[in-house]
Amino acid sequence: MRKITIGILVFPRFQLLDLAGPCDAFGEVKVLSNGESEYEIFTVGTTRGPVQSSSGITLTPDRTIFDPCPHFDTLIIPGGLGIFNLLEDSTVIDWIARQGDECRRISAICNGVFALGAAGMINGKTVTTHWMDVPRLASMFKRAVIEPDRIFVKDGHIYTTAGVTAGIDLSLLLIEEDINKKMALDVAKYLIVYLRRSGGQSQFSPLLESQAAENSVVACVHSYILDNPEARHSLESISEHLNMSPRNLTRIFKKECGMTPMNYVNDARIDFARRYLESTDMGYKDIAQRCGLESAEALRRIFVRRLGITPLEYREHFRSSSEEVESN
């Protein structure tokens, strides 16, 4: 059977799950194929000797970047707290750049994409990363096209993913490409994960994370919404409250925040609704009314349009246990 060699780079304070997740996914191919596997995996250290992960667990790599390595069909760069220390290490970055020229595929999990950026590999490429690292990635690599809400992105031979467990999503995609969809589905079932997750990263993160400058238009709108979550906010009502014209409010708001006032309001409504869905048994109609929406169907439309999942699916995924709900 043809072997597909996969190299996984390991560096001080790498994210252990970014390595273990893909290794287990590729390893299940062997289990499900009666002992045969198309994959041969090598760990490659950036330093000689054992390498400690961010969790404190230590791994001894099969090779280092200073040793002769087999030709890698696919190179995977995990993320982790130590990724930013690599960016100024020209020896490591040059090695990654060479691999990018030689490998059929090169992929980065979570903030591992920063190493691809330092190697000059994401200019003009569409990529993603963990939602918390999106602003930093955008400021450091201005020529990259960033999709902040995607679980994974493929652009040519460059593959990038969101945070941590998204490395498993990536591995299932690679297995599907290399073998077939049935094998990828069988591995997903064996690992008890989704072959394709519904929705994007926004379902895992608060949508209004950014801090607005004090006394800015965005801060004023934010405070007004927080004080009146059940109000049927409109562009006209917000403009009137701020003594501004709708046109001027929209212009200033988009400049400060990068979105329209009403998109911001809808994100706030989703964040309000999250709390009720996660911690109460409240019905969807009541939640909608408390979030300033006219009906449960309106709540559903906003969720599907913004998060790619329904309120029901969100509650099933993220709701606290019944004991926690009752204690609240």
pLDDT in tens, 74-84: 999 999 999 99
Report whether pLDDT(198) > 70: no
Nearest to 99 by CA among 133, 134, 131, 65: 65
pLDDT digits (tens, 9 = 90+) for 137-176: 999 999 999 987 688 899 999 999 987 788 888 999 999 9
Q: What is the CA radius of gyration of the chain?
A: 23
- φ and ψ at residue 4, rounded to 5 degrees: -105, 110
Residue with tokens 């930093």: 136
The b-or-e profile of 99-109 (16+ CB within 10 A means b, else e) is: bbeebebbbbb
Mean pLDDT, residues 88-104 taken together: 95
pLDDT, tens digit, 9 for 90 and up, residues 228-251: 888 888 999 999 988 999 999 999
Residue 158: which of 54, 74, 51 has the closest Cα? 74
**Is the four-CA dihedral 135, 140, 142, 148 of positive or negative sign?**
negative
Can you list the domains of the chain with their CATH numbers?
A: 4-197 (3.40.50.880), 205-327 (1.10.10.60)
- How confident is the model at residue 323, as a pLDDT? 39
Question: Which long-range contacts (C-beta less than 8 Å, at least 24 apart) are formed by 239-245?
Answer: 242/217, 244/217
For the annotated catalytic residues, the residue numbers are 110
Q: What pLDDT is stored for residue 145 in this prediction?
A: 92
